[in-house]
Amino acid sequence: MLVSRFFRVYTQWGWPTPVMLCPIEENELGFPVWHPRKNPRDRSHHMPIITPAYPCMNSSYNVSTSTLRVMMEQFQYGNQICGEIELNKNCWRALFEQYKFFESYKNFLQVDVVAADVDDLRSWKGWVESRIRQLTLMIERDTYGKLQCHPYYFEFVDTSRHCAHCAFFMGLQRKQGEVVQEGQQYDIRGSVEEFRHSVNMYMFWKPGMGIYVSHVRRRQIPCYVFPDGYKRSRPSRPTSHENHELCNEHEVSQAVTVERIRKRKNEDRVGAMQNALLKKQSTSPPEDSLGADGLSVDTVSDGQELRNVESSHLLNSGLDELDRTESPEPASNSSVITSDGGSSEDNGCVSLGGGVEMIDNGRFEDTSYGNSSVKLVKNRTESKKEVLHELQEQLQVLAFNSIPNIRILCFFIFL
């Protein structure tokens, strides 16, 4: 691709090596040609591009250190865009975007040119524009190359003025890599005064012709400079790498948002179930509902209420029978209290309804006490082995579909 090759070659070009289409010809006509060995003046040229026809001349003699820096930056930018185009990461439109001059610098020199009428302004601004190159060289000379200038080629007109007017702008910037001292400033008043003096030597000067040079900052740029007549903040164009990072950040943020929504829904569902259970418990009668054998049955969740009630009823009946075979103490329906006065969970126990408590050693003891009358029950004649056999048959039917307390009891019973 020819355009990509152009930017690639001139990005790597070693200036001030001259660019020539053919060797320099020296004719006997006596016209001066570009020859740095013979003409010491030609040695100061920064970007020699030699014309092929006789007499050979440097077509870019007016390039200074500052303007060469600007062109090298644009060569590198064009080479980068062409590389992205070859990789299908960008389009040709990006290569021809307008250069954002007023967003590239923070300090400017504003050169206002005025005249009595439009005809005088035409000749007067042409002379001033040809001298701006001298102003750039003067500033570089007086600041020892530490302050670089970028004159803008375009002229701006302030239509609010009553006289003919146009303005030129020049961007100011410290040399890259220069060590900046705190509070360091550059005094270019002498350079500006010398420039004004050279401009006022115009041979065709007329009354009404004037020139004013002032230093302005970016926030002080007049509104007539911008196309729409007012300052509008325009975000910088992101590169392909920045676009890739933005896409990744968007995907990550979207995944995080989905995860947060999922967690919030789960928390709301759990909260609703807890509220429903608390409401149901608050509206239930104070006495526990009794089964067929007169034993209390625990309240369970909505989804497994009927099945869990049946299994709990069966298990409590069997445990009551087993407890009566081992201990003659009567059972009561009061709350469970541990031996040290603490809760059953603090002592490694799991409490069940009906005043039955499971200890770590596998024995079932009734630790509930009450002041009410003790209800006597009949002792059954069946042996302990028969009771265990009956419980095992019933628990095999229920499997592990009941509440977690029954699963724990099944484990100890099978032991």
Which helix (H) or strand (E) element contains residue 70?
A: helix 65-86
Beta strands in 133-288 (DSSP E): 147-151, 164-174, 210-217
Band (277; pLDDT cuts 50, 70, 90): low
- Look at residue 292 in the predicted model and tell me its pLDDT: 40
- Look at residue 47 in the predicted model and tell me its pLDDT: 96
In this predicted structure, the answer to whether residue 83 has a pLDDT above a threshold of 80 is yes
Euclidean distance between CA atoms 156 and 176, whole angstroms: 29
Q: Which of 68-77, 237-246, 275-284, 383-392 has the lowest average pLDDT?
A: 237-246
Euclidean distance between CA atoms 299 and 316, whole angstroms: 14
Domains along the chain with CATH numbers? 1-97 (1.10.1410.10), 99-176+188-231 (3.30.70.590), 305-414 (no CATH)
Report CA-CA distances (Å) from 72 to 48, 102, 117.
Answer: 14, 19, 40
Tokens of 241: 């790498």
Residue closest to 295 by CA, chosen among 282, 322, 314: 314
- Look at residue 256 in the predicted model and tell me its pLDDT: 64
- Look at residue 147 in the predicted model and tell me its pLDDT: 92
Euclidean distance between CA atoms 41 and 58, whole angstroms: 12
| 8 Å CB contact between 213 and 192 | yes
Torsion of CA 174, 176, 182, 183, to 10 degrees: 0
In this predicted structure, the answer to whether residue 82 has a pLDDT above a threshold of 90 is yes
Residue 415 DSSP SS3 = coil
Euclidean distance between CA atoms 138 and 177, whole angstroms: 21
Position with higher pLDDT, 288 vs 391: 391
- Look at residue 180 in the predicted model and tell me its pLDDT: 72
* 290-322 pLDDT, tens digit each: 344 443 434 434 444 445 544 555 455 554 554
Euclidean distance between CA atoms 126 and 155, whole angstroms: 11
- Summarize the chain as % helix, strand, coil (round to 5): 45, 10, 45
Rg (CA), the chain: 48
- Look at residue 352 in the predicted model and tell me its pLDDT: 39
Per DSSP bridges, beta strands 350-351 and 147-151 are unpaired
Position with higher pLDDT, 317 vs 217: 217
In this predicted structure, the answer to whether residue 252 has a pLDDT above a threshold of 80 is no
In this predicted structure, the answer to whether residue 143 has a pLDDT above a threshold of 70 is yes
Give the torsion sign (CA, 336, 339, 340, 341): positive
Q: Which of 95-109, 157-171, 189-203, 245-259 has the lowest average pLDDT?
A: 245-259
- Region 114-132: mean pLDDT is 94
* 343-400 pLDDT, tens digit each: 433 444 333 344 333 334 343 344 444 444 444 334 444 555 666 666 666 666 554 4
Band (95; pLDDT cuts 50, 70, 90): very high
In this predicted structure, the answer to whether residue 43 has a pLDDT above a threshold of 50 is yes
Band (178; pLDDT cuts 50, 70, 90): confident
Find out whether the peptide bond into 16 is cis, omega within 30 degrees of 0. yes
Rounded to the nearest integer, the mean pLDDT of the chain is 73
Euclidean distance between CA atoms 141 and 128, whole angstroms: 20
